[in-house]
Amino acid sequence: MREIAVVAFAQTRHSATDQGQSEPELILPPLDEVREKTGLRKFGFTCSGSCDYLAGAPFSFVSALDALGAWPPISESHVEMDAAWALYEAWVRLQHGDVDSALVYGFGKSSQGDLREIMTLQLDPYYLAPLGLDQVSYAALQASAAKVDRARLDEIVRRSRADGRANPYALDLPDPGGDAFEVEPLRPYDIAPVTDGAAAVVLAAGDLARELCERPAWITGIAHRIEPHYLGMRDLARSASAAEAARAAGAGKGHVDVAELHTQFSHEEPILRQALELPESTVVNPSGGPLAANPVMATGLIRVGEAAQRILDGAASRTIGHASSGPCLQHNLVTVMEA
């Protein structure tokens, strides 16, 4: 296997409302930033992650390519899911050995539509979607199954929002309050906020990574696993796919200093902590995580980028970036990085 590392990461200053930017305008600042950090103007491979349903237009990622420019020509691919899976595709592409660098980016403008309605479209159209349950309702079923103490959920949200306020890229959200339920047992603040944003990551192989970056975040393990689509076939109180992905990626082979987890609901943190076998000494979501900013289709990539940034900055030696897709943590990707 080729040595591959994250050598640059950038993201937008996320917003809770539509700022009037088109997708290319949203993506351009992070792209310019990673180009500046690496000095690269052309990459061996480019891959993006987005969702046409968020944009309300087919092949919306094609228009977003305007941000890359018409020249020089590129080798390009796209995944209709979180850009963390675009990073996985880029990692696989670099393993071929004929190219040494890859640009990965993701973007999403959740403010333009109703996420609860849009994300229902990923369900089985014959048996699940007609039930009328949306992603929050499904998450509430999982929260009930997990039986996490309300005080612990409140503490997770309080910590996430406080860390988010210290993160210039996250939303400025107040401490949680109120007793009303969104869908019992979840309260409105247990749910990741509507967010517009984008992010970009540069991967490089071997000697090129060492040339571009003083302290690369080497990807020592990466894997993703998926569970059955139907919730009745799964134990919602745990995440078997996250546990399997973590084992395949070698997460347990050493101490994890920082883990950035794709927790769109507060109850998902204890489920993922257990699945990834993270000790209490592992710092979870020091960036604030998705509960402080959740630009759908870029959130998972941001988790990998934030975890890598801790290594790039010298603040950590071994980190995990986690991404999830589908209802109730159905599909999970784990990336292990080391200095």
Residues 6+ apart with CB under 8 A from 70: none
| 5-55 per-position pLDDT tens digit | 999 999 999 999 999 999 999 999 999 999 999 999 999 999 999 999 888
Residue type at 87 in one-letter notation? L
The answer, yes or no, to whether residue 100 has pLDDT greater than 90, is yes
Q: What is the CATH number of domain 4-113+195-214?
A: 3.40.47.10
| 134-149 per-position pLDDT tens digit | 999 999 999 999 999 9
Residue 163 phi/psi, 5° resolution?
A: -65, -35
**What is the pLDDT at residue 149?**
94
The answer, yes or no, to whether residue 332 has pLDDT greater than 90, is yes
The answer, yes or no, to whether residue 127 has pLDDT greater than 90, is no
**What is the pLDDT at residue 97?**
96
**What is the pLDDT at residue 133?**
87
Residues 6+ apart with CB under 8 A from 283: 257, 258, 259
**What is the pLDDT at residue 122?**
87
What pairs with residue 103 in β-bridges?
46, 202
The answer, yes or no, to whether residue 56 has pLDDT greater than 90, is no
Residue type at 151 in one-letter notation? A
Geometric angle at alpha carbon 13, from 323 and 319, rounded to 5°: 35
Task: Give the separation between CA 162 and CA 18, rounded to whole angstroms.
Answer: 24
Give me the percent of the chain exceeding a pLDDT of 70: 100
Mean per-residue pLDDT for 64-88?
92
Residues 6+ apart with CB under 8 A from 313: none
| 262-278 per-position pLDDT tens digit | 999 999 999 999 999 99
Q: Top-level CATH class of 115-192+220-338?
A: alpha beta
Task: Give the separation between CA 29 and CA 122, rounded to whole angstroms.
Answer: 30
Structure tokens at 175: 């401490």
Structure tokens at 240: 């078997």
Taking a C-beta distance cutoff of 8 angstroms, is the pair 9, 213 a contact?
no
Q: How do the domains of the chain map onto residue ranges?
A: 4-113+195-214, 115-192+220-338
Task: Give the separation between CA 196 and CA 185, rounded to whole angstroms.
Answer: 27
Geometric angle at alpha carbon 230, from 243 and 126, rounded to 5°: 150
Q: 71 falls in which pLDDT band (50, 70, 90)?
A: confident
Cα–Cα nearest to 222, from 75, 116, 322: 322
Give the pairing of strands 4-11 and 331-338.
Answer: unpaired
Taking a C-beta distance cutoff of 8 angstroms, is the pair 260, 231 a contact?
no
Q: Exposure pattern of 48-87 as b/e (b: 16+ CB <10 Å)? A: bbbbebbbeeeebbeebbebbeeeeebeeebbebbbbbbb
The answer, yes or no, to whether residue 70 has pLDDT greater than 80, is no
Count of helices and strands (H, E) across the chain: 11, 10
- One fold for 4-113+195-214 and 115-192+220-338: yes
The answer, yes or no, to whether residue 319 has pLDDT greater than 90, is yes
Residue type at 20 in one-letter notation? G
The answer, yes or no, to whether residue 208 has pLDDT greater than 90, is yes
Task: Give the separation between CA 156 and CA 151, rounded to whole angstroms.
Answer: 9
